[in-house]
Amino acid sequence: MIPTLEWLPEGVNFLDQTKLPLEETYVLATDYKQVATVIRDMIVRGAPAIGVSAAMGVALGIDRSTATDIPSLNAEVEVISRTLAETRPTAVNLFWGIEEIRSLYNRLVDGNTPIPEIKAAVVARARQMYDEDIAACKSMGAHGASLMPQQGTVLTHCNAGALATCGYGSALGVIRAAIERGHKIDVYADETRPFLQGARLTAWELLKDNIPTTILCDNMAGALMRQGRIQAVIVGADRIAANGDTANKIGTYSVAVLAKEHGIPFYVAAPLSTIDVNTPDGDAIPIEQRAATEVTHSNGKQMTPNGAAIQNPAFDATPAKYITAIITEHGVLRAPYDQSIRKMVEKVAAGPELATV
């Protein structure tokens, strides 16, 4: 399993995804500010991995605090949480991860728990979330494997694999699970400009698993669909609105429209933590704007003329009408998504015995 991130006694260790595929190096974050930098600079990326990283960042901040009384610790926790929340706005998992640790912390404080026990408990919860993410990805794979073609080519955009999670992957986890069940699948990986997550990351991890992978320029998918060379599309998500509209890496919307035009199923794979029932639709999802230099420069070399205006939104929102199904760890959701999402969220909230739909 690819070690995307790991809790160590010294801090949280992250595989530096900005250096892949040519260099496998790690960045050790020894305090919450360094975790925030790792998230902001996309050393770690992918909504599920960001969520667990944020949880570990809050836990690390609490664990390393020198506060000797609860009021002082409360003040620190506010700063820690705000610092991490300000790193990236689109992936709702970031805020879910922070809230998971904050909620536990608040319950422990309300119960007059001593500070050393609070520290141990929040660290244990953050580490548990790591294990839960891997289990969720494998469950997504189990639910989604049958949706993949028995034989053929699957297109994916960006990276929703082991590198975007704590291991195994969401969209790529479904592909992995299908192959483990005997499906004969190869993968087209969109390069995913401007950060090249598909070319650098998806291809790297699939080839490590000996899964046949071909990298496509982002503008090639339509032509290949017309030729009948793509049997399914599967992507991850950074936020899924209450009506099923889905934010994913910029360019996903275009792929979804092309898939619809050519009668190709378009699947989204994401954990339940990616669903934001408080966001009504895709228009309400905040879209991160990233630095112009990601577009203007490649490998340190300027590729665009001085004075040209640059647009660099990191994500776009795909309307639910283009999505064939949403694969979660609790089952497969289908339209009408406002109803199926609400039903799943209510069942999971009711307890594990009702959680699978």
Domain with residue 276: its CATH number is 3.40.50.10470
Residue 249 CA to residue 234 CA, distance in Å, equals: 13
Q: Which of 238, 245, 276, 316 is catalytic?
A: 238
Q: Which residues pair with 190 in a beta bridge?
A: 216
Is 133 tagged catalytic?
A: no
Q: Let me know whether 43 and 188 are in one domain.
A: no
Task: Measure CA of the first residue to CA of the last residue in the chain; give whole Å.
Answer: 28
State the average pLDDT over residues 45-70.
97
| The pLDDT value given to residue 2 | 79
Q: What is the dihedral of CA 60, 63, 66, 69, to 10 degrees?
A: 120
Q: What percent of the chain has pLDDT over 70?
A: 98
Q: Provide the whole-model pTM.
A: 0.94
Q: In terms of domains, do 180 and 208 share one?
A: yes
pLDDT(356) > 60? no
Are both 134 and 161 inside the same structural domain? no
* Co-location of 49 and 177 in the same domain: no
Task: Show the tokens assigned to 348.
Answer: 């999971």
Q: Is 300 left (phi over 0), alpha (psi -120 to 50) or beta?
A: left
CA-nearest of 4, 119, 116, 106 to 53 is 4
Q: What is the mean pLDDT of residues 232-239?
A: 98
Domain boundary among 117, 138, 159: 138
Taking residues 116-134, report their average pLDDT. Answer: 98
Same domain, 275 and 340: yes
Cis before 21? omega within 30: yes
- Does 160 lie in the same domain as 89? no
Burial class (CB in 10 A: 0-12, 13-18, 19+), 101: buried
- Residues 241 and 283 placed together within one structural domain of the fold: yes
Q: How does DSSP classify residue 169? A: B
Secondary structure class of 8 (helix, strand, coil) = strand
Q: What is the pLDDT of residues 173-217, one digit of tens each?
A: 999 999 999 999 999 999 999 999 999 999 999 999 999 999 999
Q: Which of 138, 160, 190 is the last residue of a domain?
A: 138
Domain-terminating residue out of 88, 119, 138:
138
Based on the fold, state whether residues 19 and 75 are members of the same structural domain.
yes
pLDDT, tens only, 318-339: 999 999 999 999 999 999 999 9
Contact 354, 330 (CB under 8 A): no
Q: Which of 133, 179, 162, 55 is nearest to 329 (CA)?
A: 133
Q: Sorting pLDDT into bands at 50, 70 and 90, what band is 300?
A: confident
Q: Tally the domains of the chain.
A: 2
What tokens appear for 287 in the block?
Answer: 């879209």
- Any idea what the CATH number is for the domain that residue 43 is in? 1.20.120.420
Q: Do 244 and 258 sit in the same domain of this protein?
A: yes
Q: Looking at the structure, do residues 167 and 277 belong to the same domain, yes or no?
A: yes
* DSSP character string of 305-320: -TT-----BSEEEE-G
Q: E strands within the chain?
A: 5-8, 11-15, 26-29, 151-156, 184-190, 213-216, 232-235, 239-241, 246-249, 266-269, 275-276, 297-298, 301-302, 315-318, 325-328, 331-333
Q: Which two tokens stand for residue 138?
A: 């494998």
* Residue 110 DSSP SS3: helix
Distance CA 322, CA 338 (A): 14
Host domain of residue 164: 141-354
Per-residue pLDDT of 150-174, as tens digits, reads 999 999 999 999 999 999 999 999 9
